[in-house]
Every structure is written in structure tokens, then in C-alpha cells.
Structure 1
Amino acid sequence: MKKNLSSLSDLAGAFGKAPIEHDNTNKVDDDSLVYSTESGRIQHKKAEVITASDGFAHVRRETKGRKGKGVVTISGLGLPSSELKTLAKKLKKTCGTGGTVVGETIEIQGDKREVIKEVLEKEGFKVKFIGG
């Protein structure tokens, strides 16, 4: 009686034991797990933290670290990142300039504080100018 045993389950079957069934549907979420042979690198979902607003949109003109170029930063809005991006897109379009969202602040190129104030007030924010 010569059989070709290619795996451990075949060997267990030869001795009359039932092969072990692995259930892959019951996966445990372990925060310390970095790599798994089943799924590769584990990407943990990070919860977005939104800082609460004090009721004012703080508009500030900055030039520090930008080689003298003026940038208007808007902070204190208390919005999630998706809504910040849509608001930044609207501000960039009305100002006719570039800009970006960094963390919880919106940066708009140039000195367009008055135009930004009008747009933010139409969106329902109270605007406070900070700095000179």
C-alpha cells in the first residue's frame, strides 16, 4: 500500500484522523499586527480628529518661511477634511489663485483677505482677522 502523501492533511487521513479545517472568516483585529502572510502589510484605519471651532474663522496673512510670498491661512473652522477641501476649492475659484489644505488649515496664495471674508460669511462663518 503505497500512497503519495503530499500534505499533512493527507498523512492525517492515512491514519484515520479527520483533517483540520481552517476557518478564515473569524479574523481578529490586533493593533500590534504589522504583517500577515494572508493579507500582507496591515493598514490600520486612523480616526480623523476634528478640533472644535470657537465660532470664528481665523484669517491670517503669513509670509514666514515662504521667501516673502504672502499666503492667507484660514483656521478654526471645525470641519472634516472632505468639507475643508470643497471649501478650499470654492475659495481658490473665487480668488483666482492657488491654494491647499494642510491639516486643519486652508492656505490661499496672495493677499485676498476681503474676498475670503465675503465668501466665508456667505457660508455662515464669523470671520476674525488675526495679525497685521
Structure 2
Amino acid sequence: MKSSSNGGLVYSTDGGRMCPECRRPILECTCKAKAKAVAVGDGVVRVSRQTKGRGGKSVTLIKGLALDSIALALLGKQLRTACGSGGTVKDGVIEVQGDHCELVVEELRKHGHNAKRLGG
């Protein structure tokens, strides 16, 4: 048996590879089922701009979308295309490179979301 730096079981001769999150064998892992579950929000999508920890470069953050991971990735792709820039989806938050808050709010409203601008 091997242990990772945080003390979690990585491999067991009984079950094979172990999931680092739920600490079960990969075949019995429950983490993927949780990831597919729809995130529940208050119905308001919040759009903000952030530069903290990014070397002075601004990023538009979209939080509060009650979508599953696949739909979130698809919406992220549509927003990045509309803005003409790159970005990613991390932990249920869509990140679009650059300051595109107003454009993102307009696009989200076109898709039927209740979008609200945060910050100045």
C-alpha cells in the first residue's frame, strides 16, 4: 500500500485504485454522481470582474448558474465565443479572460438567466 502526502490511500490490493475524494475503489466511487448533480442556487447569476492573483490581468467570473457540468461547459463555450476570448470552467464558475461583464450579462439574459452585475 502507498499513501499520498495527505495520508489518503492510493492503491489497495483488495480493490485496486482508490478515489482520493471518497476513498472508495474507483469502481464504487460516488464522486462522479455528485458532480452530475445539479447545483442549486438562488436563481440569480452573478457576473463580476477579478484581477486578484492573476498578475494584473482581469477575468470575468460568472457564478450561481444552476446547471450540470456539461451544460455549464457548453454555456461557457458560448460566452467565450461571444466575447472573442479564452477562458475555462472551474468548480461551477465560468471564467472568461478580459473585462466582458456587460457583454456577458446581455448574453446570459438572452439565454433566459437572471443575471446581475457585481462590483463597480
Quote the Cα distance in structure 2 between the aligned partners of 1:51 and 1:80.
Answer: 7
TM-score by length of structure 1 reads 0.68
Identify the residue that residue 112 of structure 1 maps to in structure 2: 100
Alignment RMSD, CA only?
1.9
Identify the residue that residue 112 of structure 2 maps to in structure 1: 124
Runs of 4+ aligned structure 1 residues displaced above 3 Å come to none
Quote the Cα distance in structure 1 between the aligned partners of 2:97 and 2:55.
Answer: 13
Percent identity for Structure 1 against Structure 2: 42
Quote the Cα distance in structure 1 between the aligned partners of 2:13 and 2:74.
Answer: 37
Identify the residue that residue 56 of structure 1 maps to in structure 2: 44
Identify the residue that residue 83 of structure 1 maps to in structure 2: 71
TM-score by length of structure 2 reads 0.74
User: Structure 1: any 5+ residue segments left out of the alignment?
Assistant: 1-33
Equivalent AA in structure 2 for residue 45 of structure 1: T
Quote the Cα distance in structure 2 between the aligned partners of 1:122 and 1:59.
Answer: 15
Q: When you count strand as a share of all residues, which structure comes out higher?
A: 2
Cα offset for 1:50?
A: 4.0
Quote the Cα distance in structure 2 between the aligned partners of 1:55 and 1:65.
Answer: 28
Q: Which has more radius of gyration? A: 1
Identify the residue that residue 92 of structure 1 maps to in structure 2: 80
Identify the residue that residue 35 of structure 1 maps to in structure 2: 12
Quote the Cα distance in structure 1 between the aligned partners of 2:16 and 2:51.
Answer: 44
Q: When you count helix as a share of all residues, which structure comes out higher?
A: 2
User: Structure 2: any 5+ residue segments left out of the alignment?
Assistant: 1-10, 18-24
